Structure 1
Amino acid sequence: MSIKYHPKRRLILLALAALGTSGPASAETLLSALARAYSSNPTLDAQRAAVRATDENVPRALSGYRPSVSASGTVGASYQTARTAGGAGGGLTDLNRGLFPGTIGLTVQQNLFNGFRTANSVRQAESQVLGARESLRSTEQTTLFNGAQAYMNVLRDTAILDLQRNNVEVLEEQLRQTRDRFNVGEVTRTDVAQAESRLAAARSQVSVAEGNLQSSIAIYRQIVGVEPRQLAPGRPVDRLVPRTLAAAVQIGLEEHPAVLSALHAVDVAELQVKVTEGELAPTVNVVGQVNQAFESSFPGDRATSATIAGQITVPIYTGGEVYARVRQAKETAGQRRIEAEATRDSVRAAVISSWGQLEAAKANVQAAQAQVAAAEVALTGVREEARVGQRTTLDVLNQQQELLNARVNLITAQRDRVVASFSVVNSIGRLSAQSLGLNTAIYSAKQHFDQVKDLPWGLRTPDGR
């Protein structure tokens, strides 16, 4: 027998195997796909909006340093009737008149001291902003990693589908030749049935592979935002992987956004204790008022008054509610410190796990390449032996399946090799558009913060909404 895999059917397999080669000029590369995800992924855009909303906590806190100004006014109508003495002849005079009294007032209040609540609230808001930025970095990392994973899954499933379809063609030719040999009496009906069974199973595997590919395409579309077209081979990001596991763990504990976000959450909780304690301190304000009244007694009258006064409020007892909130805030701060330690442990475990997966993936690629080479030699030998009657049809079918499995294993190992490298970089907190060198505009959270942090008024957001 001289059945061979069609060379054209091996193009995708070979492209995936040669991960270091470059694809066509018009092909979508892994980095260009990640750039699309970075610029248009809705989950990432939503997190950016959340950071912009958190930025507004700073001008809210800074408002405690500024005076509050309010205006008030009243207007009404009144009717007066009276009988007074002193009319002509010493008689009584009836007085009937309508008035439209009104007042206009302006009140200005400036806080001078409030137990340092304003200062601590500003620091707390700034910590919230920094924590939100780290959460955004975490979302960026997750999006980029998911994009890389989806990209490689499409490549893997495309190559596997191609192999499965090629396997059907090989088995169809195998079945045709087996039937010809059966017709001339060289093999039995059992050999034909074995070939038919193996062909039916191969067609079933094609359907499974098609379903897997469609699922991977759907996830790719969800993350990247476009349908995959002409994907070039993916490349591992070994240049971003630390040289040793110890270095990777150290970097992760120091730079991972989840750790930094947890530490900022500790700061926010500790400052909340100080803000709440400030409610027990005296509050000192300066209050100024200007009022003008019209027609309060008779038509056309007008009176103006102005006052300025210092105001001090000393809380004596509030039923224990403030004390309870102080104790509650302290317990929350303790919880945040414990959560920060737990986050460190999670990051350490993730780094070690991803590092092990990367090492295993590297070894699997080498083993799978050796397996494919050996299976190809074995298949050639089995076919030659079957031609001289030393092997059965089942032996040939089994060896063909062995080679198919080896090639599928190689494709999967190569996919795992690329994804594992991204996983290590993700686990240490260095998977970003800047580190990958993505050809896209880098989103700056600081830009919006600088635009709004000192705004004393205005309803429009910096983008005009």
Structure 2
Amino acid sequence: MLKNIIALSFLTCVSYSQTLQESLEEVLQTNPTIQERLQNYNATKQDITNAKSGYYPSLDLKLGAGQEKIERQYTTTDYSAYETSLNYTQNIFNGFGTTALVEGQEYRAVAAAYSYVEKVNATSSELVNTYLEAMKNEELLKTAQENVAIDQEIFNKVKKLYKAGLTTLSEVKKIESSLALAKSNLVVQENTLLNASYNLEKVLGHTLDASAMQKPNLDNVNFPQSQEEALAFAFKHNPSLLANEYNLKVAKATNKENKAKYYPKIDLDISQAYNHNVSGIKGKDDEFRAMAYLSYNIFNGFSDQSSIEKSYSQIQQQFENKRSVKREIVQSLKLSWAAQEKLQEQLIHLQEYKKFSNKTLILYSKEYDLGRRSLLDLLSAQNDFIRSKAQIITTQYSILNAKYKILNTMGVLVTSIMQDNKVVYSKVDLSGEK
């Protein structure tokens, strides 16, 4: 127990408190998994520029200087040779392959953008879960401490009665065992709080003082009125689904790019060469050439056909992925929606349970003092009261967590907490609207 007390004291000393919104703002700036996905988007965006280079000509300058030795039957001649050439190449037609490539890279960049938003929401959901878990266990710790205090009070009362000869030794031992169990449960709860704090630290990067955290609420959130409304919204805004839709478009663009190989290529090639003492020709030897080339592959071992068939399979693969993601969205939202509805219903009964168990404890305590209730009756009433408080705490946080899960499935978790969608979407050139 001493180790846990020291650890909790140390945790409090080195940590500080901040709201969920402040914590999320920090996570968006510092969490490594989020930053990795952002850099992946930035890298993917450069592929668009690379693809568009196919629209532009290629201009190559070549300079050369050296010695050239010509050996003939009776003479050997050394020359100082110089070469200068400028070559301009422009693709005129390639079966619209460049257009398809650019289109595919643009779709891939948007998919990477939504992949970033997806990771932001997933990490934010993890933050919410660990943040709420830490707060919940801090409240449960207070309940465990209250339980120890009540047992200690009863123990003092029983011990005084025993010394006065008004109760039995068995009742003393019974309250001693109850007090020992309460202290054991307190140590367990201290350890659970430590674990919750360390899990939060993993996401956030540093510890927080759970006792000074502010419990978040959804008062300013435009929460959906029905499960159907939430599902309809999720199908339009869930980042996982949107990323998959653009991956499907990438696969279709790749198919177009592969089909372009069945068309001929037309290239314009213009070159100007300035040579001196080159190839055995003494003195000036300049050359200008302007040519249009048509190239067409007749046979390449069915490679083009194989690439097209592969892209068809990739299209179908992405289509099935989209169906799978949709099913996951439906399942996740239905589970969370049912959970928050049933938990709210349960909370009503738990609050009644707490109210009556509290009254029972007060009455039993008075009746015990009058000798009309046994110690077992009193301890049973106490257990009911402590259990009701713990269950209410757990249920309240479960309701809050279920609602945040619904917002996460809808794709608006970060927006709901930060009250601003630009904080995420602007970093990847998205408006936040489909």
* TM-score of the aligned structures, taking structure 1 as reference length: 0.83
Equivalent position to 2:49, from 38, 59, 69 = 59
Q: How far off its partner does 1:116 sit?
A: 0.5
Distance 1:223 1:76, change over 3 A: same
Aligned-pair CA distance for 1:236? 3.0
CA distance in structure 1 between the partners assigned to 2:268 and 2:242 by the alignment? 41
8 Å contact from structure 1 (residues 291, 306) kept in 2: yes
Q: Secondary structure at the match of 1:289?
A: strand
**Residue 375 of structure 1 aligns to which amino acid in structure 2?**
S
Distance across 2 between alignment mates of 1:203 and 1:241: 42
Provide the residue aligned with 1:126 in structure 2. 106
Contact 2:70-2:280 within 8 A present in 1 as well: no
The amino acid that maps onto 2:20 is L
Match of 2:61 among 71, 78, 83: 71
The residue type equivalent to 2:104 in the other structure is Q
Deviation at 1:137, TM superposition (A): 1.8
> Aligned-pair distance for 1:228?
1.5
Residue 453 of structure 1 is matched in structure 2 by none
Q: Per-residue CA shift, 1:16-44, capped at 9, x if unaligned?
A: xxxxxxxxxx9632222222222322222
Contact 2:41 2:428 survives alignment (8 Å)? no
Shift of 1:108: 1.7
Equivalent residue for 2:244?
262
SS in 1 for 2:208: coil
Contact 1:245–1:352 (Cα < 8 Å) also in 2? yes
C-alpha distance in structure 1 between counterparts of 2:289 and 2:150, whole Å: 99
Match for residue 115 of structure 1 among 67, 86, 95:
95
Answer whether contact 1:269 1:333 (CA < 8 A) is retained.
yes
Separation of aligned partners in 2, 1:448 and 1:358: 31
Please give the secondary structure, in 2, of the residue aligned with 1:222.
helix
SS in structure 2 at match of 1:284: strand
Amino acid at match of 2:382: Q
Partner of 2:123: 143
User: Residues 257-309 of structure 1: CA distance to partner in whole angstroms, max 9, x if unpaired?
Assistant: 12221111111111111101111210110011222223326797232212110
Amino-acid identity (%): 19
Gaps of 5+ in 2: 1-15
Question: Which residue of 184, 198, 208 corresponds with 1:204?
Answer: 184
Give how far 1:389 is off.
Answer: 1.9
8 Å CA contact retained: 1:369, 1:410 = yes
Distance in 2 (alpha carbons) for counterparts of 1:278 and 1:254? 33
Identify which of 180, 190, 199 aligns with 1:219. Answer: 199
Question: CA offset at residue 347 of structure 1?
Answer: 1.0
Pick which of 372-381 and 74-83 moved more.
74-83
**Partner SS state of residue 100, structure 1:** strand
Report the number of matched residues.
414
Distance 1:238 1:419 in 2: 16
Letter in 2 for 1:257: P
Q: Which has the higher helix share?
A: 2
Task: Give the match for residue 22 of structure 1.
Answer: none
Q: How does 1:350-389 map to 2 (within 5 A)?
A: 350-389=332-371
1:446 and 1:386 map into 2 onto residues whose CA distance is 68
Q: Which residue of 2 aligns with 1:456?
A: none
The alignment's C-alpha RMSD in Å is: 2.5
Cα distance change, pair 440–232 in 1 and its aligned pair in 2 (3 A): farther
| Equivalent-residue separation in structure 1 for 2:149 and 2:380 (angstroms) | 16
Query: Are the structure 2 counterparts of residues 277 and 259 from structure 1 closer, same or farther at C-alpha, using a change threshold of 3 Å?
Result: same
* Partner residue in 1 for 2:36: 46
Contact 1:31 1:438 (C-alpha < 8 Å) held by counterparts = no
Shift of the 73–448 alpha-carbon distance from structure 1 to 2, 3 Å rule, reads: farther
Question: Could you state the TM-score of these two structures normalised by the residue count of structure 2?
Answer: 0.88
What SS does the corresponding residue of 1:115 show, helix, strand or coil?
Answer: coil
Moved more, 424-433 or 99-108: 99-108
Shift of 1:441: 5.0
Residues in 1 aligned to 2:282 and 2:314: alpha-carbon distance in whole angstroms: 62
My pick for the range that moved more, 142-151 or 269-278, is: 142-151
d(CA) in 1 for partners of 2:185, 2:87: 80
Amino acid paired to 1:147: L
Q: Residues 200 and 281 of structure 1: is their aligned pair in 2 closer, same or farther, counting only changes over 3 Å?
A: same
- Trace 1:78-117 onto structure 2 (pairs within 5 A): 78-80=68-70, 97-117=77-97
Which residue in the other structure is 2:305 paired with?
Answer: 323
- Contact map agreement 1:236 1:417 (CA 8 A) in 2: no
The 2-side partners of 1:37 and 1:168 are apart by: 37
User: Can you list the C-alpha shifts for 1:69-119, whole angstroms capped at 9, x where unaligned?
Assistant: 2233444434456686xxxxxxxxxx5553333423222211010010111
Letter in 1 for 2:304: V
Cα shift readout 1:176-226 (whole Å, capped 9, x = no counterpart): 322222222222222122112112211221221111111211222222334
Matches of 2:51 and 2:261 in 1, distance apart?
A: 15
**Partner residue in 2 for 1:412:** 394
C-alpha spacing 1:322/1:170, structure 2 compared with 1 (3 Å): same
